[in-house]
Amino acid sequence: MLVTGGAGFIGANFVRRMVPRRPDIDVTVVDSLNYAASRANLAPVEDRIEFAHGSIADAGLADRLVKDADIVVNFAAESHNDHSLADPRPFLESNVIGIWNLLEAARKHRTRLHHVSTDEVFGELSLDDPGRFDEQARYNPSSPYSATKASADLLVRAWARSFGVEATISNCSNNYGPLQHVEKFIPRQITNILLGVKPKLYGTGRNVRDWIHVDDHNAAVEAIIDRGRAGETYLIGAECEAANLTIVQTLLTIMGKPGDWFDFVPDRPGHDLRYAIDPSKIRGELGWRPRYRNLEEGLEATVAWYSGHRAAWEGAKAAAERRYEAIGR
Q: Which residues are catalytic?
A: 119-120, 145
Paired with 104 in beta bridges are none
The answer to whether the CB of 177 falls within 8 A of the CB of 185 is: no
| β-pair type (263-265, 2-4) | unpaired
Q: Are 41 and 12 in contact (CB under 8 A)?
A: yes
Q: C-alpha angle 10/12/16, rounded to 5°?
A: 115
How far apart CA 145 and CA 131 sit, in angstroms, is 24
- DSSP per position, 131-172: --B-TTPPP---SHHHHHHHHHHHHHHHHHHHH---EEEEEE
CA atoms of 134 and 152, how far apart (whole Å): 18
| Residue 5 CB partners (closer than 8 Å, separation 6+) | 11, 30, 31, 37, 56, 74, 75, 76, 77
Reported as type and span, the H/E element at residue 27 is strand 27-31
Of 66, 67, 75, the closest CA to residue 31 belongs to 75
Which residues have a Cβ under 8 Å from the Cβ of 174 and sit 6 or more positions away? 119, 185, 209, 210, 211, 212, 275
Q: What are phi and psi for residue 83, nearest 5 degrees?
A: -65, -35
Helix axes 295-308, 185-194, angle to 10 degrees: 50
Q: How far apart are CA 250 and CA 300, in angstroms?
A: 9
